[in-house]
Chain A
Amino acid sequence: MSIANKNNYGYITPNDFNLYAKQAQLDIFEDYFYQYNSWVVKQNARVSGSGYADILRGLVEVIDSFSETRGLTNTGINLFNLPEDYYLINKINLYPNIITSSTTTAAALNTLTDTNATFNNGSVLPGQIVYNSSLTSVSSGVSAYVISVDSATQLTLSANPFGTAATIGNGYVIATTAGIREIERVSQNKIFYLNSSHLTSPTTSYPAYVLGGATAGTFGNTLTVYPTTITISSGIVVSQYIRYPLDPNWTYSSLTGGEPVFDEGQADYQDFELPESDEPNIVNKILQYAGVSIREEQIVAFGQLQESEDNTQQN
């Protein structure tokens, strides 16, 4: 903003800045996937090195920092809802070996308490996955792992799959991490043929899914999983996906001389999620958007020039 406000007439509001920042971050985030593909081609052409010259690995690390693993909520039959923040599904897994399922009876962070359970009977073990199966919960589908079996009625978990607010009355499912099957994505125009083929029809050993449209409500797209016998009662369906970066939010607490004073202590403060090495790119992008906004051609040109130089250097 110091570049845009060089002559003291380039002022943009925090709200505008947040919008440009979000746009800039998304641009760069998406560019990572194109760069990844471009570097795969280069690697196959043997123009990429190893060790510190392994550009591809660096790109993968950034992309993987947006990786999320989350159980999918089931609507009763073989339909599962994707989380609404997904950008790209990497894989969908089926945990077919359910140990137990019931409802929580007490509230505590990173803990599962069910007074009706007998967790210490030898079937529930550390490392098993716990999944929030409540459709009504804000944390529906969130999963965690069993850290320890504290008693017959209580488990310590690696995270809090039931959210921080409501932890009583949430449905849960516990499954082993053995025998996990990857559910394969199949296009809509192939699924009929796949289901009709003796050799390839989906089974619990080789399940498949097709991606459908979004459903009403807050959830993302819907998966239809085959064979149709796969429901919440036959296994937990867990997705590993790349989420969108969180929207950056430049927060301020007070106005001094008519200008907002930055305050990162605000509850809704959100920094950029891209690596620090992307800061010049983000600034260039924001400058371009801000320059268009305040009709300052020099700023737009400066941003474009810087971005162009960066791209030349990287390629």
Chain B
Amino acid sequence: MAYITDYQYYENNGTAPEDSNWGSYQYVTLDDIVTNFILMYVGNDKLINNVEKYNILFHAKRGIQELNYDAMKEIKILELNVSDQLRFILPQDYVNWVRISLYKNGVLMPLTENIQTNWSGAYLQDNNYRILFDENGNILKPENSTLDMDRIANTQKSIYLNANSPQNGNEGFNIDGMWYFDYNIGNRFGLNTETANANPTFVIDKASGVINFSSGMSGELCILEYVSDGMKNGVDSQINLNKLFEDFIYAYIKYAILTSKYGVQEYIINRAKKDKAALLRNAKLRLSNIHPGRLLMNLRGQSKWLK
């Protein structure tokens, strides 16, 4: 018997959202993972018995989280306009970023992370540089630090890139679209390639949950590609895993339980560990989709003459 009918797959039996089953066959649900594991790997005649279901659930979720961080390549993409405060609030399920781009004039321009900080917190101080407190003993803080204010007001220097200009590669101020430069005094040591970029830059403030951009991003459209942990905001029924990782997740749960159980022989734990590692390698290879045809396309350029 088919898992779902064709009509259910393509049109969700006519109920909205009609696309909810598209591509669903690639995935196995968390519920299936836990059920199958209990059925096949837990029992009086199995390596694992007397284990609570919440143990299995925990390790299944942890395994899915780990896979989402690197192996799964389940990239989520979010588009938002950057505010005049030059901030982009990280999405609720954000764990790590993959790429941040500026979308302008129909072109997607990947942005560079600024290795220098462009934001900071600040404390209010008096003329004698003493920190100021309120009546409850809490430190008084300004809304924005000087660093933030300069960034928002665009009074920070940035590198000007224009091959046709004598100021190419010099640091200058971009105010209302016009560039202003200091006099060229002293030695110059070439371009700092780490920070050289014509596009705006960004720094992620993880604790505050925002991306702080340089001034060129105000009002612009930002495309954030990021990875989540696959927990679907805690809705267990929506958690799933690519079938290529199904065997791995069983091996992961088995290893995690055996390794934390008292009295399990070391050779059994080692066997489970090797099993887990081999299956992860297998799954990653499968997911990488290295097809001869694709390699051939890349290799076509090997004898191209560089002029």
Contact = CB atoms under 8 A, between A and B. Distances in A.
B58 A199 contact: yes
Interface residues of A, number: 15
A43 B52 contact: no
Interface string B213-243: 0000000000000000001001011000000
B265 to A, nearest CB: 14
A233 interface: no
A40 B45 CA distance: 8
Contacts of B34: 206
Contacts of A247: none
B61 interface: yes
A184 B52 contact: yes
B54 A40 contact: no
A198 B45 contact: no
Contact of B44 (A40, A186, A197, A206): A40
B108 to A, nearest CB: 35
A198 B234 contact: yes
A15 interface: no
Contacts of B53: 182, 184, 206
Interface of B: 31, 34, 44-45, 52-54, 57-58, 61-62, 231, 234, 236-237
B54 A208 contact: yes
Q: Which 3 A/B pairs are nearest by Cβ-Cβ distance? A: A205-B236, A40-B44, A200-B54
A194 B31 contact: no
Contact of A43 (B31, B45, B231): B45
Interface string A91-131: 00000000000000000000000000000000000000000
A199 B44 contact: no
A199 B232 CA distance: 11
A199 B52 contact: no
Contacts of B54: 184, 186, 194, 200, 206, 208
Contacts of A182: 53
A206 B62 CA distance: 16
A75 interface: no
A312 interface: no
Contacts of B31: 205
Nearest to B44: A40
A198 B65 CA distance: 13
